[in-house]
Structure 1
Amino acid sequence: MPDKPPLVPFARFVDQPPELPVRGRDDHDGPEYVVEATVVDSGRDRVNLKGVTQTGEEVSIIIRVVAPGIVRVLLEDDASDPARVRLARELPAPDGSITLRRTNDSVTIKGEHIQVQVTLKPFHIVFFGPDGRRLLDQNYSEKTAPGTLSVLPFGFSRVDGERVAFHETFAAEPDEHFFGFGEKFTEFDKRGQRLEMWNYDPAGVHYEQTYKNVPFFISTRGYGLFVDSVMPVQFDMGLSNHSVSGIIVPDSALDYYVIAGPTLKDIIPQYAGLVGSYPVLPPKWALGLWVSSGFDHDNADKALASARQLQEHDVPCSVFHIDTYWQRHGCWADMQWDRAAFPDPEGLIRELKAMGYRVSLWMNCYMGPESEYYPVAKENGYFLMSPDGEVWSGDLWGNTGYHPPVCIIDFTHPEAVAWWRELVRPLLRMGVDVLKTDFAEAVPLDVVAHNGMSGLQLHNLYTLLYNDIVSDLIAEETGRVGLVWGRSSYAGGQRHGAQWGGDSICTFPAMASTLRGGLSLGMCGHALWSHDIAGFHGEPTRELYIRWAQFGLLSPLARAHGTTTRLPWDYGDEAYRIFQQYASLRYRLLPYIYSHAVVAHETSLPLLRAMVLEFPDDPNTYAMDLQYMFGADLLVAPIYNVEGCRPVYFPAGRWIDYGTHEIITGPQTRWIEAPLDTLPLYVRANALIPTLEAARPIEEAPFTPLIIDAYLLDHGTLRLHDMDGVTSVSAAIQGSTLALEYVGPHKDVRLRLVPLLGQTTIEQVTLNGLVVPEPEHSENGLLEIRLCSP
């Protein structure tokens, strides 16, 4: 029974949103919903309607084509609310053709890639793709056998005479599946689930409650839907009634956008453009390994010792992170160094940089009462306030007494923002490169902000304000993109760059849930995602450490961090060797990873891709959430158990085992047994994978020399993005000839033909139509062709 409480209540230290209307069988008054409408006025791309509910109440409805593939639907009662927060940006008028056709009983607006048909009486909205195929339509018809309405249709509900929420209900087709909603840790296919858009610190990764909520989803029918609200929107995706999907919006309007594909990959960029937020293009060093000194009592000597050990053990690492204890306990987070533990922070940063590291520091947006800056902030009203006019204070560290109660910086207060920026700025001028923007999920319901917003209104918005401020300051001080490493987020938060999956415990189920969260977040266009290798809370076993490291080092961003050591040699020689093996693999793959980061920056398509995103026509992929595509061509199937075995699904086509070069033909599922040092990793046949010869320090310059590993059976192409532009490579086996085409700015590029079973013996090579007289061979005998010389 979905509405019964759990056996063990969820321990919450973040306020829950107010209860939304739930109607029982005897509640015969029912919701107010639109039954008919008349046209008030119309234009080329829109129609304004006066809707009438079943009891005669009037509402305003605006339906508009706002982009070639996007329709906006806005339902308000008597007047628009100027205080309502909107995250969708005003898009320029579509250039393509838009037509509006009216009859006595309907209005149809047709955009370039989407059309919407509105029947005026009885009121009904249907959305179609450009080919006329139905994408989505309202559902008013679901009733119980006695005739009681069992859905919440297009309208609103009141409690004690006060409107508490708008709502909408759509038909959920029998074969329809839904993905997205943010970093939800439940099963990837969200059909049969109820999703609440309310940021939590769930102190784990096993729940529907999560740090990053996004009121956006994608359907296998080829559409996406975004609800423009920062309030606790609730989606019921066939849980209460399997025939429908429902939305409840406790805001002053119902404002949603339907986005037509036709493919899932077409939907994500349109959504990103709608909220005006494509992922930043990170500096190359951010794609290397991040290693933390850990969430533990720390000091300069300990941090430097760890940094030196990484180099002594020849573990490639680009970013060294220092967590909470660089500040004084009880003062978190006033951005002031604990001078007892870190007597010379400037010298520490200089030394870390001299060793080749970029430096990351932890922060959050709260402040403890023991800080000398606390009285200044309190006196000037820089904290969120209680309704009685006193500063709000509470335990936001888990009700454990671990840290004194804290106050929350009011980022709606311009003077508070300016003051707080000046606390942060000196860190960047010392040489800190990136800040880990922790927390920001806990704005309580009963606070009042400087700009008049309630805690209910500010709760989800707060993380965007916080990360915007830090990101903008980093960009201002460094001249680079404002990369942050954030825990919480909301719609549009992909603009802040790096985000990690929160505070998982050290278990295999937590590892699996972490992957589910990352896949769901990726469907919302958040491309630069990561997680704590081996989990955050506790001490992982040797097996878990190794398996999670294999997964983490082939994630969009890679970081080792936790409450106990995450240095690989602390888990034994075998763990150290395997960690080093996969860290080196990551660094060799940096040209491939960076090229996909450029694509993400331009399109919001994630680096960690759900199988359904690459194979949307294969129903076997719809619920698949324990394997993924890393970019377009690498299939990764992490091992999530001590037995070292799992099923792996291979979609249609041919796949090549990265380690053995065995060719596997899909579609099929195989039971894979993987030794501890082996991650099930497969390459799409005919993929051209750009690599480096060996792991080495990352430079902010085009990768060189480049080696393109060609897993060629017949014909493959590569479009490689780098700092100097786009390089295009085509490779085809034509009889006994390997025909190569190369165009691009890179000056030192070789193509290496990976030997595969059944591959034709190559007797001649051509490059851009000319015969290559003497093809080279690598040290291990592989055919190697120089495409361009330095």
Structure 2
Amino acid sequence: MLSTSDSDRANHLENLDLKQSRSTRLDFDAGNGLHLVVEPHAPGVFRLRCGTPAQVAEDRPAGNRARAVADLLIARHEAVGEAVVEPLAGGAQRGWRVVQGDTVLEVSVDPVCVALYRAGTCVLSSDISRDVPAFAWGGEPPQFWTVGFALDKTEPIYGLGETQGNLNRRDETVLSDDPAHRALPLAWSPRGWGVYANTVQRVEHALGAEAAPSSYLLNIDDPLLDIFLFAGEPGEILNQYSALTGRAGQPVLWAMGAWLEQAPGQSATETAELVARARESRVPLDVVLLAPPAVCQPQDAKLTLDWDASRYPDARQAMALFRRHDAHVCAPVFPGVPADTTAFAELEDRGWLLASDDGDARRFPGVPATGGKPFGLLDLTHRDVATQWSERNHHLLDDGVAAPACSVPVDLPDDITARGGESGAALRTLYPLLARRALFDAVAGHKTPPEGVVYGADLFPAAQRLPWQAGPRVPNSWEGLGQTLRTALSLGASAVPVQMHALGNAAAPLDGMTPELYLRWLAAAVFSGNFSFQGVPQLMPWAFDEETQEHARTWLQWRYRLIPYVLGAIEDAVRTGLPVQRSMALSFPGDTDAHAFDTQYLLGPALLVAPILAPGKSTGVYLPKGEAWWDLNTGWRYEGGTTLTVECGPDRYPVFGREGHMLCLGPAAQHTGEFNSARILDEVWMFGMPVHNPVVMRNKIRVMQMQGSSYIKGLEGLRILPSEGLEVKRRGAEVRISRAR
């Protein structure tokens, strides 16, 4: 991989000869047998590819295997944008302007560099300083590339996957295939640019790191350079990025309810007793997530899956234990085969396990998913293996499993080459993607749009296509609460729609979980994509005093009332790429004061949440500029640009409604099976004069403004709580909101 110390010896792109210009594609001869292709790929999106003529001839690579890999990364290969091409005007530098409306990409030569403009302002440009190459490669022919972009001194960078620290990734170095980095491929800045390197090979993102503090360097271990440049507000960038790489699948309704994670070593009967206790204690619950090991494992070369008889002697009876209490089951599965079984030997003979370079199936050390037993991994790059494994897991649904859970915490060394030819970084990148993809196909089947959840902790390119993402395991402390919140916001900055928050950690010391911390953690989880209880008595609501339990019940009622809104926000993610929990930098890129409050977030478009992350009743809240905000606790209205100190007891939480929006709430329930599908909504809260259509699942509510009033259809039978100074008049199926006289 090329470093800045190697830049003087690198092969730099110096000159370009325009060979063909169309509104959808520019072809350049870049010398040294290389061609550069520039595409206006979509509005505000430009694609740059540089390689041999054969590598850049088509949008998708040649060969069935290469095309299959490309399809895992990109959902829309064909360019849907058009541009006008003009020569650079004035000055001594030669080049071209590729114009898409108010977005322009300038390509110039000597050396080759690019500049991205939005509304006449340059938002991103190549770094052409002496020590940093704009475009350079190493090896003959190219084996890897380095691309350098200039950064302002204080310019922040967001995205690139999970972090438990500062959401601004500036000064970090992120490796795409290092499991410790929890990386995702999109980087963006509130300044108005985004960058995505389209490859399964290793990418090193040096984000103003020590060697080049004023540069964003991408070191890409791929003979083909393939990057996408985005121009726009961060929300627009996530929209175009997810349209390019794939939208989220649609979750089922029951997944929106509270989850319960089975404790390690706990039997199905003991967990069912916890569910029964929850019902008796009026603690709403919908899903039980069974603990590792995997509930079943392959028995033969046909990948026949049998339940672990030592834990589940009668699988259907075990599932019935939970159905009796209206609880769905999410069961752990794993694409591993215990090394001491006949199935391992049979699958090794068939070549269906990942093998070392000597041809023998690799035996991996035991992990929790295998109960600590050594195992081999199914070679999911082999289409027949992936198909069989998907079909076998589909049979679990017949036994009463509602969804699978799968994580692959295995470091795949460089000396493994899969049947499809992938090894090293490419295999480490692709394997968890293939595992989750096969399981999602098993759950979603042929539904349009695809619907279902696969719970897992792995991260990989296009992770946003495959919900449901597990949260981190953190200490039972105020710091742990902050860490789980930051990971959710950082994943949202990479277009992952939902992170599940764990309410505490059963594997960590439990004495730090005070009643105050428990209620603050629960309230934060209520105003999130979703969360799970931990199945140990010390972390269930009834472990605390009666007053704490009553507050917990109130917050849980809030959670179930919010489900139509949160599910509506997830449906928005399917259309727009925006996550449920949206950081201040993502939501208000132009308000730099808001960025400093980096644990605040928008829950969907209408609610501003300021989590309490320290003991005490007081917390600071910043209300972003350009908006007015309504305190859900008091009903008071505040202008944006205001910093408040808010007092909240255990029965309150700092949440503010965004003016012009509505909050549609459902009824309180003990599980989603109690929801009336014909009347999913119960009440509407208004924050000032309604201007925007509300966010709500299967939304059929529409707002129209006329002569200073708002006319709304779709609120039949609902209670309406207008803001102060507004009055409501119903006219048949129509509701009129106007200023009070």
Q: Distance in 2 between matches of 1:481 and 1:753?
A: 35
Contact 1:192 1:239 (C-alpha < 8 Å) held by counterparts: yes
Q: Percent identity?
A: 22
**What is the identity, as a one-letter code, of the residue corresponding to 2:600?**
Q
2:671 to 693, 697, 705: 697
**What is the identity, as a one-letter code, of the residue corresponding to 1:119?**
S
* Matching of residue 321 in structure 1 with residue 289 in structure 2: yes
Please name the residue that 1:522 is paired with: 492
SS where residue 461 of structure 1 aligns? helix
Please name the residue that 1:99 is paired with: 84
SS where residue 318 of structure 2 aligns? helix
Contact 2:588 2:624 (C-alpha < 8 Å) held by counterparts: yes
In terms of mean alpha carbon deviation, does 675-684 or 591-600 score higher?
Answer: 675-684
Please name the residue that 1:214 is paired with: 184
Q: Distance in 2 between matches of 1:165 and 1:464?
A: 24
Please name the residue that 1:447 is paired with: 416
SS where residue 214 of structure 1 aligns? coil
Structure 1's unaligned 5+ residue stretches are: 1-19, 144-148, 203-208, 776-782, 785-790
SS where residue 693 of structure 2 aligns? strand
* Distance apart, 1:768 and its partner CA: 5.4
Structure 2's unaligned 5+ residue stretches are: 56-60
* Distance apart, 1:418 and its partner CA: 3.7
SS where residue 265 of structure 2 aligns? coil
Deviations 1:346-404 (A, max 9, x none): 02222322322222112233333245533333332221111111111222639x99713
Q: 1:402 to 1:162 in 2, by over 3 A?
A: farther
Deviations 1:264-297 (A, max 9, x none): 211111111111x111221222111111222x10
In terms of mean alpha carbon deviation, does 527-536 or 565-574 score higher?
Answer: 565-574
* Matching of residue 766 in structure 1 with residue 729 in structure 2: yes
Please name the residue that 1:394 is paired with: 364
Contact 1:334 1:367 (C-alpha < 8 Å) held by counterparts: no
* Distance apart, 1:107 and its partner CA: 2.1
Q: Once superposed, which parts of structure 1, at least 4 consecutive aligned residues long, lie more than 6 Å away?
A: 328-331, 477-480, 730-734, 769-773
In terms of mean alpha carbon deviation, does 482-491 or 337-346 score higher?
Answer: 337-346
**What is the identity, as a one-letter code, of the residue corresponding to 1:447?**
I
- What is the TM-score when the length of structure 1 is the normalising length? 0.83
Please name the residue that 2:58 is paired with: none
SS where residue 49 of structure 2 aligns? strand
2:47 to 72, 75, 93: 72
* Matching of residue 279 in structure 1 with residue 255 in structure 2: no
Contact 1:329 1:403 (C-alpha < 8 Å) held by counterparts: no
Please name the residue that 1:570 is paired with: 543
Contact 2:628 2:639 (C-alpha < 8 Å) held by counterparts: yes
Deviations 1:684-727 (A, max 9, x none): 34542111242353248254452101233x5554334433x421
Q: Distance in 2 between matches of 1:30 and 1:236?
A: 20
Q: Distance in 1 between matches of 2:704 and 2:531?
A: 31
**What is the identity, as a one-letter code, of the residue corresponding to 2:292?**
T
Q: Distance in 1 between matches of 2:447 and 2:607?
A: 34
Q: Distance in 2 between matches of 1:771 and 1:33?
A: 65
In terms of mean alpha carbon deviation, does 302-311 or 41-50 score higher?
Answer: 41-50
Q: 1:33 to 1:536 in 2, by over 3 A?
A: farther
Q: Distance in 2 between matches of 1:330 and 1:515?
A: 37
Q: Distance in 1 between matches of 2:104 and 2:410?
A: 38
Contact 1:335 1:363 (C-alpha < 8 Å) held by counterparts: no
* Distance apart, 1:154 and its partner CA: 0.5
1:688 to 662, 679, 692: 662
Q: Distance in 1 between matches of 2:97 and 2:447?
A: 51
Q: Distance in 1 between matches of 2:340 and 2:705?
A: 65
* Distance apart, 1:748 and its partner CA: 2.5
1:595 to 542, 557, 568: 568
SS where residue 584 of structure 1 aligns? helix
Q: Distance in 2 between matches of 1:457 and 1:770?
A: 57
Contact 1:529 1:557 (C-alpha < 8 Å) held by counterparts: yes
1:301 to 264, 269, 279: 269
* Matching of residue 88 in structure 1 with residue 62 in structure 2: no
* Distance apart, 1:58 and its partner CA: 4.7
Task: Say how many residue pairs are matched.
Answer: 713
* Matching of residue 486 in structure 1 with residue 456 in structure 2: yes
Deviations 1:68-91 (A, max 9, x none): 221111122575275764323454
Please name the residue that 1:42 is paired with: 21
Q: Distance in 2 between matches of 1:623 and 1:193?
A: 18
**What is the identity, as a one-letter code, of the residue corresponding to 2:49?**
L
- What is the TM-score when the length of structure 2 is the normalising length? 0.88
Q: Distance in 2 between matches of 1:548 and 1:126?
A: 45
**What is the identity, as a one-letter code, of the residue corresponding to 2:80?**
P
Please name the residue that 1:205 is paired with: none
1:168 to 121, 124, 147: 147
**What is the identity, as a one-letter code, of the residue corresponding to 2:656?**
Y
**What is the identity, as a one-letter code, of the residue corresponding to 1:752?**
L
Please name the residue that 2:435 is paired with: 466
Contact 1:113 1:260 (C-alpha < 8 Å) held by counterparts: no
Alignment of 1:393-432 (within 5 A): 393-395=363-365, 397=367, 403-432=372-401
* Distance apart, 1:329 and its partner CA: 11
Q: 1:424 to 1:231 in 2, by over 3 A?
A: same
Q: Distance in 2 between matches of 1:336 and 1:98?
A: 57
* Matching of residue 156 in structure 1 with residue 129 in structure 2: no
Please name the residue that 1:139 is paired with: 127
Contact 1:39 1:50 (C-alpha < 8 Å) held by counterparts: yes
1:119 to 96, 108, 112: 108
**What is the identity, as a one-letter code, of the residue corresponding to 2:43?**
P
* Distance apart, 1:170 and its partner CA: 0.9
In terms of mean alpha carbon deviation, does 601-610 or 321-330 score higher?
Answer: 321-330
Deviations 1:623-668 (A, max 9, x none): 4321211111212222223445543222124333322334444323
Q: 1:253 to 1:223 in 2, by over 3 A?
A: same
Q: Distance in 1 between matches of 2:345 and 2:438?
A: 22
SS where residue 247 of structure 1 aligns? strand
Please name the residue that 1:668 is paired with: 642
Alignment of 1:217-232 (within 5 A): 217-232=187-202
Q: Distance in 1 between matches of 2:298 and 2:615?
A: 40
Q: Distance in 2 between matches of 1:705 and 1:545?
A: 29
**What is the identity, as a one-letter code, of the residue corresponding to 1:612?**
A
Deviations 1:562-585 (A, max 9, x none): 788542213443443332221110
**What is the identity, as a one-letter code, of the residue corresponding to 1:708?**
V
SS where residue 473 of structure 1 aligns? helix
In terms of mean alpha carbon deviation, does 487-496 or 693-702 score higher?
Answer: 693-702
Please name the residue that 2:623 is paired with: 650
Q: Distance in 1 between matches of 2:192 and 2:519?
A: 38
Q: Distance in 1 between matches of 2:648 and 2:549?
A: 18
In terms of mean alpha carbon deviation, does 247-256 or 86-95 score higher?
Answer: 86-95
Deviations 1:135-188 (A, max 9, x none): 2111112x4xxxxx2x24311135xx7955201011112453221112233311
In terms of mean alpha carbon deviation, does 352-361 or 464-473 score higher?
Answer: 352-361
Q: 1:397 to 1:530 in 2, by over 3 A?
A: same
* Matching of residue 634 in structure 1 with residue 607 in structure 2: yes
The structure in which a higher percent of residues are helix is 2
Q: Distance in 2 between matches of 1:428 and 1:489?
A: 25
Deviations 1:207-226 (A, max 9, x none): xx22xx22111212212211
* Distance apart, 1:61 and its partner CA: 1.3
Q: 1:68 to 1:654 in 2, by over 3 A?
A: closer
**Alignment RMSD (CA, Å):** 3.3
**What is the identity, as a one-letter code, of the residue corresponding to 1:667?**
G
Please name the residue that 1:538 is paired with: 508
**What is the identity, as a one-letter code, of the residue corresponding to 2:136?**
G
Q: Distance in 1 between matches of 2:535 and 2:235?
A: 34
**What is the identity, as a one-letter code, of the residue corresponding to 1:766?**
K
Please name the residue that 1:51 is paired with: 30
Q: Distance in 1 between matches of 2:403 and 2:730?
A: 44
Q: 1:379 to 1:642 in 2, by over 3 A?
A: farther
Q: 1:614 to 1:457 in 2, by over 3 A?
A: closer
Q: Distance in 2 between matches of 1:522 and 1:350?
A: 36
**What is the identity, as a one-letter code, of the residue corresponding to 2:404?**
L
SS where residue 679 of structure 1 aligns? coil
SS where residue 527 of structure 1 aligns? coil
Q: Distance in 2 between matches of 1:228 and 1:376?
A: 37
Q: Distance in 1 between matches of 2:229 and 2:194?
A: 6
